Structure 1
Amino acid sequence: MRNILLILLLTTSGASLAMGKPLVVCLEENALPYSDPEGGIDNDVALAVADGLGLPLLIHWYETEEGDEGNPVLQVNALLSGGYCDIAGGFPLAKNSFADPGEQRYPLETGGGQRTFIALKPLAPSEPYHAIDYRLIHRPDQPLNVADLDDLVDLKVVAEENSIADLLLMAHRGGILRNSIHHVKPGDNTLFQALIKQQADAGWIARHRFESWRREVSMKALVDSGFDHDFSINLGFAALHSNQQLIERIDELIIELIDDEELETLFSRRGLTFRPPEPPTLMPPISQRLFQLY
């Protein structure tokens, strides 16, 4: 059951932080282990921030729009610009996500198949509250000796199609791993099942996705190889650039939560490893060029 004191569905715009009003946070639905109506680490952090502000928490759930027209960053910008929430959680902190949108408008779905074109506004990042890294996993009866990504060239490695993990492998050293990579459907347990069924030698996936799956199924059919890769992504909150006072207060709370090890405790309760944010706060634009550096 839901373990947040107050999670409601916001159906009106114009959220504010006036006295008696809740902190309204946009979170992606069905994005475990990060955010979901049944619970997630981003839910927990949002609640901790709301508590620190002395405000009740109200979550506006949204589903990432798929297809050629879908753009998660612009979609979140539209939710903030349209007044559907005060801040958005679990937001990748990359420079291109905070570029001035100019006169762009985003066709935000508002229910019943209707869309409203929202004029986008400049966003500002909070301090990051954790980082996501990527792990090489395998069956325990097939140990791997991997010192760097070059060692994967003779292996069959599964990755979720078009995920960050996939793009990292595809871009490595000009694409030398392309023939080693086998794509699976993103967002479900297909990658894990492919390894269990011995359809691949290894899998490459975000650490928290693996930890969450392993905890859910209570089995040790797959293990972490221990290979550490340099790439990670800082995640934090995004808000309208004009809402600087709120961002500054949230920054203070995030720093306190990290220094007091409260975030580490929240992650531990969900069976997840807390990876502290790493400098710089904003990574270079997420692009093929960036991935080629790794």
Structure 2
Amino acid sequence: MRAWLAAWSVGAILAATTAHAADDPLRICLDEDRPPLSAHHRGKPDAGFDVLLAQAIAQRLGRPLAIQWFESKLDEDSSPQLEANALLSDGRCALVGGYALTTDSLVKPGMKTARLPDFAGATRDDRRRRVALGVLAPSQPYVYSPMTVLLGPKVQGRKIGDIGDLAGLRLAIETGSLGDAILMTFDKGRLIDSITHLVPGRDDLLGALQRGDYDATLIDLARFDAYRAVHPDTAVTASGYYYPIGANRGYVGLAGNGELMDAVNKALAELAAEGKIAELGKQAGLTYLPPREPAILGEVWTKIIQR
């Protein structure tokens, strides 16, 4: 009788623990203004590929989903790496979605602390304080994020098979962007005289391309997806050329949370094998490309400069 009661007690405890784990939300941090990957705006339903994927992952894990929205604003004391690390280290979420998987973005931070980005529910104290940082660990990638050449209305149909094919065109690029580094360093600066630099947040790069002020630019493919969703009649077209150095995106969490990452990787593998991830990309208006090798891109800047 005592043995039966002891076994029943252990079973009850395990069942209660399992039920509690199932009730514990899967907390994922997503950028509130990165369509078509993720978008959160007052008066509108949450949308984006990463939102749909997070819902699918949580369902596979049998857990409710809680999205912690944040706003990414770069300054001299911040970066996507530090923002993600601060959110995770502060316990705002267990995973950050849509994270570019590069060696640079996963190294141990050189700073011991960092400020939190603005996030939904943040207090005045949250905006002031600094968070002790941990070490990041990635999931397997779930989407490939390339740079692509966009063409203005005056050069529609021009064949682009390499960056060198942009010679003779009026090029526009945002200062300090990855596209800026690629174009400025190509073939020892061969394109420099054709490049006009625009200021992010002040100048409208794609609007200028649409007006025919410039002939071509080099930007992230997902950004063009977002522009095309708002401007379906745009005369700006994708050339079909993808710059050969691109990054996969995946989840990132804190090192030491291996059990959760293993479960997430298992769910990602199942969803990919069933074709569900590609379907979610299409549903969100994303030009979905499956992950490519290497899973984690190393030494991005060195690769660009050497090309």
Aligned to 2:8: none
Looking at structure 2, the residues matched to 189 and 138 of structure 1 have their Cα atoms a distance apart, in angstroms, of: 18
The one-letter amino acid paired with 2:288 is F
SS at match of 2:290: coil
Looking at structure 2, the residues matched to 201 and 103 of structure 1 have their Cα atoms a distance apart, in angstroms, of: 41
Contact 1:132 1:207 in 2 (8 A): yes
Aligned to 2:207: 193
| Residue 33 of structure 2 is aligned to residue 30 of structure 1 | yes
Looking at structure 2, the residues matched to 135 and 54 of structure 1 have their Cα atoms a distance apart, in angstroms, of: 38
In the superposition, relative to structure 1, how do residues 275 and 138 fare at CA in structure 2: closer, same or farther (>3 Å)? same
Aligned to 1:232: 246
The one-letter amino acid paired with 2:86 is A
In the superposition, relative to structure 1, how do residues 80 and 222 fare at CA in structure 2: closer, same or farther (>3 Å)? same
| Residue 58 of structure 2 is aligned to residue 44 of structure 1 | no
**1:232-279 deviation line (CA, Å, top 9, x unaligned):** 110000001110011111111111111111111111112222101111
Looking at structure 2, the residues matched to 221 and 191 of structure 1 have their Cα atoms a distance apart, in angstroms, of: 14
* Higher mean C-alpha displacement, 149-158 vs 50-59: 149-158
Of 141, 146, 150 in structure 2, the residue corresponding to residue 133 of structure 1 is 146
* Overall identity of the aligned pairs, in %: 32
Displaced runs of 4 or more, over 3 A: 185-189
The one-letter amino acid paired with 2:84 is V
* Structure 1 residue runs without a partner (length 5+): 1-16
Q: CA RMSD for the aligned pairs? A: 2.1
Number of corresponding residues: 277
Aligned to 1:262: 276
Contact 2:136 2:253 in 1 (8 A): yes
Of 63, 69, 81 in structure 2, the residue corresponding to residue 73 of structure 1 is 81
Q: CA deviation at 1:189?
A: 8.4
SS at match of 2:72: coil
In the superposition, relative to structure 1, how do residues 185 and 57 fare at CA in structure 2: closer, same or farther (>3 Å)? farther
SS at match of 2:218: strand
Looking at structure 2, the residues matched to 66 and 96 of structure 1 have their Cα atoms a distance apart, in angstroms, of: 17
* Structure 2 residue runs without a partner (length 5+): 1-19, 41-45
Of 93, 98, 118 in structure 1, the residue corresponding to residue 131 of structure 2 is 118
Looking at structure 2, the residues matched to 194 and 176 of structure 1 have their Cα atoms a distance apart, in angstroms, of: 23
In the superposition, relative to structure 1, how do residues 34 and 293 fare at CA in structure 2: closer, same or farther (>3 Å)? farther
Looking at structure 1, the residues matched to 23 and 160 of structure 2 have their Cα atoms a distance apart, in angstroms, of: 55
Aligned to 2:105: 97
Higher fraction of helix: 2
Looking at structure 1, the residues matched to 183 and 25 of structure 2 have their Cα atoms a distance apart, in angstroms, of: 42
* Higher mean C-alpha displacement, 242-251 vs 26-35: 26-35
Q: CA deviation at 1:71?
A: 1.4
SS at match of 2:34: coil
* Higher mean C-alpha displacement, 162-171 vs 25-34: 162-171
| Residue 75 of structure 2 is aligned to residue 62 of structure 1 | no
Q: CA deviation at 1:281?
A: 1.1
Aligned to 1:289: 302
Aligned 1:147-166 pairs, distance under 5 A: 147-166=161-180
TM superposition score normalised by structure 1: 0.87
Q: CA deviation at 1:69?
A: 1.7
